């Protein structure tokens, strides 16, 4: 199999085959030209678009199941497989089984890794015991386990090469995100924002597992790895200054400040910067933590070699609604006012699609991508701050009604797709609102540190909880949308065959026409789909693979057997009818013509 060879990647990596397999899957915003899928989001730029086109809008209706296998687990499957040469690798939800399957003999499991887990970890996983997939580099599979252990496995044998401990479940820390490998660094985040965990990302040496650096998102400058005179605040376009985080918290509240990092990371090899978002501040009761609470709900750009922040842009200062900022930053080139600019596009939980200059964090555009969004009237492009609707601000012991979007967000973890040909984003979204009542709460290690009672429901109190949209991030226009009964919690995939693939919470795997959203194909999976389809070619044939297995925050009631509407951090009442359509399960499904 031939691989394209972008010089920017070769220069950075040298000629190690393992490195090439990772880095050649995408350079900048362009689509992967090879048939593998070697990075969780398909490429460092996270566009989730493939140049494969054997399956196209004229023949997608003829797709069929090629093969499938059980994950061995019954909880939410939020990740995606990788394909490297003739091997496929994927990770299940807790207890995080990792599988290697030879595509020449798909009925046989080449190896299975079953990590020894801290049994306490599931009890502090706020929103199901999910996992977002493995990474690959230099002949190694990198796997994150719920109990915060990071494993490097021999890709041929599954043997453990090294183990790193990234946190401690006893104080509420868990790990659900996929690692990102940049040259000789394996970069991972930490979850637990609902347990008073202070968020960070950590880089480990790819060959030894030794910690290279750790950057917190809130706290003292030396711990958040900012240079007061050089790190830029994207909102002001000025250096952040000394104590940029501490001065926005009251007393020592930052020590329980949240800002966790359970989402996706991307990387620009030309600028040598990694990008990621931080989560909500702790607690959910904003009255207890006056100030902007920097740098929670923030997009960071950091040097992967040192961890030092180049810039930071806070989307939701003093977050009063649990609008985590952990969603992916998609790296493309955008034409704005006649200029071509390297941009980062981020569809935030708060309902706005942000377009930033990824060189310095300057805000270029911020448009609502869900029409129900009402907590803010707009984002002021001059100040970079939201223009709030005072009626939707939350306060201790006040039940504020009809806030849109709900805390689950107008988009949650489900990654978007970008087609360089149409210059549009294809996004699985949530169309939901909430009532929010904050209350005082005290911290105790390993116990929830939330301080709010929520009730979520469909926007406009209708029957639509989710929408698949084709969206222009520069103009803010939605070109077309497909409504769904439940949240669209699966990350769409686009291809040069002019097809969009995605799954639904009630279990339908679909292919739609990229130009119109018209349905071309549907298949009812054994369980609801919150995983992200990928595509690959093997022996001249194109395949599309996706994990089925309902759960996550979107379906926490079904996953954990909860029935009270306000349980599951307010999400249970939103999907009470989901059990009429699907059930728990875990299945890898592979389709072809």
- Look at the block and give the residue holding tokens 């329980």: 256
Average pLDDT over residues 462-467: 96
Which residues are paired to 142 by β-bridges? Answer: 135, 152
pLDDT tens digits along 396-445: 999 999 999 999 999 999 999 999 999 999 999 999 999 999 999 999 99
How far, CA to CA in Å, does 482 sit from each of 94, 427, 485, 486, 570? 32, 11, 10, 12, 25
Question: Residue 1: pLDDT above 90?
Answer: no
Question: Residue 6: pLDDT above 50?
Answer: no
Average pLDDT over residues 10-36: 41
Question: Residue 461: pLDDT above 90?
Answer: yes
Q: Which two tokens stand for residue 140?
A: 């190694």
Q: Residues, the chain, total?
A: 593
Residue 107: its pLDDT value, please? Answer: 86
pLDDT tens digits along 168-195: 999 999 999 999 999 999 999 999 999 9
Q: Name, in order, each residue with C-beta under 8 angstroms of 25's C-beta and a sequence gap of 6 or more.
A: 32, 34, 36, 37, 38, 39, 42, 43
Q: From CA 360, how far away is CA 231, in angstroms rounded?
A: 9
Are 21 and 38 a contacting pair, CB within 8 Å?
yes
Are 546 and 504 a contacting pair, CB within 8 Å?
no
pLDDT tens digits along 63-104: 999 999 999 999 999 999 999 999 999 999 999 999 999 999
pLDDT tens digits along 291-329: 999 999 999 999 999 999 999 999 999 999 999 999 999
DSSP codes of every residue in 451-467: -EEEEEEEGGGSS--EE
pLDDT tens digits along 243-300: 999 999 999 999 998 899 999 999 999 999 999 999 999 999 999 999 999 999 999 9
Are 542 and 82 a contacting pair, CB within 8 Å?
no
Residue 4: its pLDDT value, please? Answer: 32
Residue 13: its pLDDT value, please? Answer: 35
Residue 102: its pLDDT value, please? Answer: 97
The CA radius of gyration of the chain, in Å to the nearest whole number, is 22
Average pLDDT over residues 19-26: 36
Convert 317-342 to b/e letters by CB count within 10 Å (16 or more is b). bbbbbbbbbbbbbbbbebeeeeeebb
Residue 17: its pLDDT value, please? Answer: 30
Angle at 532 between CA 16 and CA 350, to 5 degrees: 110
3-state secondary structure 531-588: CCCEEEEECCEEEEEEEECCCCHHHHHHHHCCCCCCCCCCCHHHHCCHHHCCCCCCEE
- Look at the block and give the residue holding tokens 């701050």: 385
Q: Is 128 a catalytic residue?
A: no
> What letter does residue 197 receive in the DSSP assignment?
P
Are 411 and 468 a contacting pair, CB within 8 Å?
no
Q: From CA 21, how far away is CA 565, in angstroms rounded?
A: 46
Which is the catalytic residue, given 128, 147, 292, 322? 322
Q: From CA 22, how far away is CA 18, in angstroms rounded?
A: 7
Q: Which domains does the chain have, with CATH numbers?
A: 7-592 (2.140.10.10)
Q: From CA 516, how far away is CA 428, in angstroms rounded?
A: 15
Q: From CA 424, how far away is CA 516, in angstroms rounded?
A: 12
- To the nearest 5 percent, what fractions of the chain are helix, strand and coil? 10, 35, 55
Secondary element (H or E) of residue 39: none
Q: How far is CA 252 from the centre of its chain?
A: 29
pLDDT tens digits along 348-393: 999 999 999 999 999 999 999 999 999 999 999 999 999 999 999 9
Residue 257: its pLDDT value, please? Answer: 85
pLDDT tens digits along 39-62: 999 999 999 999 999 999 999 999
pTM: 0.94
Are 334 and 269 a contacting pair, CB within 8 Å?
no
pLDDT tens digits along 516-566: 999 999 999 999 999 999 999 999 999 999 999 999 999 999 999 999 999
- Look at the block and give the residue holding tokens 């601000």: 393
Are 156 and 140 a contacting pair, CB within 8 Å?
no
Nearest to 133 by CA among 143, 121, 147, 122: 143
Are 574 and 457 a contacting pair, CB within 8 Å?
yes
**In terms of C-beta density within 10 A (0-12 exposed, 13-18 middle, 19 or more buried), how is residue 4 classed?**
middle
Residue 546: its pLDDT value, please? Answer: 98
Give the confidence band of 30 by pLDDT, cuts at 50, 70, 90: very low
Question: Residue 229: pLDDT above 80?
Answer: yes
3-state secondary structure 232-267: EECCCCEECCCCCCHHHCCCCHHHHCCCCCCCCCEE
Q: Which two tokens stand for residue 524?
A: 């009812």
């Amino acid at each position: 199999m031939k691989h394209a060879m972008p010089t920017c990647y070769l220069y950075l990596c040298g000629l190690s085959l393992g490195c090439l397999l990772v880095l050649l899957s995408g350079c900048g915003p362009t689509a992967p030209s090879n048939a593998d899928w070697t990075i969780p989001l398909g490429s460092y730029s996270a566009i989730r678009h493939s140049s494969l086109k054997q399956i196209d809008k004229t023949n997608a209706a003829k797709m069929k199941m090629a093969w499938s296998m059980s994950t061995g687990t019954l909880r939410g499957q939020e990740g995606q497989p990788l394909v490297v040469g003739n091997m496929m690798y994927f990770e299940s939800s807790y207890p995080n089984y990792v599988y290697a399957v030879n595509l020449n003999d798909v009925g046989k499991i080449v190896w299975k890794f079953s990590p020894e887990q801290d049994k306490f970890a599931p009890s502090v996983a706020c929103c199901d015991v999910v996992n977002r997939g493995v990474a690959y580099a230099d002949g190694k599979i990198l796997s994150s386990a719920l109990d915060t252990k990071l494993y490097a496995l021999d890709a041929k044998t599954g043997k453990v090469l090294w183990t790193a401990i990234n946190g401690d479940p006893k104080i509420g820390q868990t790990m659900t995100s996929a690692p990102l490998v940049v040259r000789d660094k394996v970069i991972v985040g930490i979850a637990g924002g609902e347990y008073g965990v202070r968020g960070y990302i950590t880089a480990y040496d790819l060959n030894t597992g030794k910690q290279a650096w750790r950057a917190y998102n809130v706290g003292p400058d030396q711990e958040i790895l900012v240079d007061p005179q050089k790190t830029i605040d994207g909102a002001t376009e000025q250096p952040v200054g000394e104590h940029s985080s501490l001065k926005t918290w009251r007393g020592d509240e930052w020590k329980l400040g949240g800002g966790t990092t359970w989402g996706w990371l991307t990387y620009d090899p030309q600028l040598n910067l990694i990008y990621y978002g931080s989560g909500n501040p702790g607690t959910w009761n904003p009255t207890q933590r006056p100030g902007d609470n920097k740098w929670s709900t923030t997009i960071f750009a950091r040097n992967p070699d040192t961890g030092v922040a180049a810039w930071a842009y806070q989307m939701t200062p003093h977050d009063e609604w649990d609008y985590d900022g952990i969603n992916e930053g998609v790296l493309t080139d955008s034409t704005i006012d006649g200029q071509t600019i390297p941009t980062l596009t981020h569809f935030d939980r708060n309902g706005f699609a942000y377009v930033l200059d990824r060189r310095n964090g300057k805000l270029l555009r911020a448009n609502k991508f869900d029409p129900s969004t009402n907590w803010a009237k707009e984002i002021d492009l001059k100040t970079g701050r939201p223009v709030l609707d005072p009626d939707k601000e939350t306060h201790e012991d006040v039940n504020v009604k009809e806030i849109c979007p709900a805390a689950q967000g107008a988009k949650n973890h489900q990654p978007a797709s970008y087609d360089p040909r149409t210059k549009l984003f294809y996004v699985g979204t949530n169309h939901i609102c909430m009532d929010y009542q904050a209350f005082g709460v005290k911290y105790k290690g390993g116990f929830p540190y939330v301080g709010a009672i929520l009730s979520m429901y469909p926007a406009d109190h209708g029957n639509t909880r989710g929408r698949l949209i084709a969206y222009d991030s520069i103009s803010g226009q939605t070109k077309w949308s497909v409504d769904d009964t439940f949240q669209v919690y699966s990350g769409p995939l686009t291809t040069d065959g002019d097809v969009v693939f995605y799954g639904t919470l009630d279990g339908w795997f679909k292919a739609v026409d990229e130009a119109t959203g018209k349905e071309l194909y549907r298949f009812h999976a054994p369980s609801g789909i919150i995983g992200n389809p990928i595509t690959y070619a093997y022996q001249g044939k194109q395949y599309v693979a996706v994990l089925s297995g309902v759960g996550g925050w979107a379906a926490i009631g079904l996953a954990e057997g909860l029935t009270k509407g306000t349980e599951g951090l307010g999400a249970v009442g939103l999907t009470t009818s989901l059990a009429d359509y699907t059930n728990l399960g875990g299945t890898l499904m592979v389709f072809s013509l």
